[in-house]
């Protein structure tokens, strides 16, 4: 990942509906969601949802799989890992102890961090 890819990912996440979709897919894990399901859960019209999903797809943050006539979306864990690696590549000058809180926050369940 380079600066251009990272800024594309951040731009995709800088819009509230796309951020909500991304977080919803992160929570869904391997089950993912159909686009229609996400639209209903988030109160977003189909054409708006489609546009937002395409932006997240192009940013490499989500992926999709066709299921007959429907399309299921998932968080793209490889793309997310690339973005996190890009951000933390030179973290703390290689001082593992200094980087530990950042990595711990990323790995914890909700009980680790009261922020949401």
Model confidence pLDDT, tens digit, residues 14-65:
999 999 999 999 999 999 999 999 999 999 999 999 999 999 999 999 999 9
| Domain tally, the chain | 1
pLDDT for 110 equals 52
**Cα dihedral: 48, 52, 53, 58 (round 10):** 140
Specify burial of residue 42 (Cβ count, 10 A radius: 0-12, 13-18, 19+).
Answer: middle
> Which residues span the domain enclosing 107?
1-116
CB 3 within 8 A of CB 89: no
Q: Is the pLDDT of residue 79 over 90?
A: yes
How far apart are alpha carbons 93 and 73 in whole angstroms?
Answer: 37
Strand order in the sheet with 62-67: 33-34, 70-75, 62-67
Six token digits for residue 105: 């926050």
Of all helices (H) and strands (E), which one includes residue 8? Answer: helix 3-13
Read off the pTM: 0.83
**CATH number (domain holding residue 25):** 1.10.10.10
């Amino acid at each position: 990942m380079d600066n251009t890819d990272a800024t594309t990912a951040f731009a995709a996440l800088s819009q509230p509906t796309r951020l909500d979709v991304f977080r919803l897919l992160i929570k869904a894990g391997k089950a993912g969601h159909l686009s229609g399901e996400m639209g209903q859960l988030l109160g977003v019209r189909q054409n708006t949802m489609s546009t937002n999903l395409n932006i997240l797809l192009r940013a490499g943050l989500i992926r999709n799989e066709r299921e007959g006539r429907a399309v299921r979306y998932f968080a793209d864990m490889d793309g997310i890992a690339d973005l996190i690696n890009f951000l933390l590549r030179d973290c703390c000058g290689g001082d593992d102890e200094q980087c530990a809180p950042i990595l711990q926050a990323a790995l914890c369940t909700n009980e680790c961090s009261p922020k949401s």
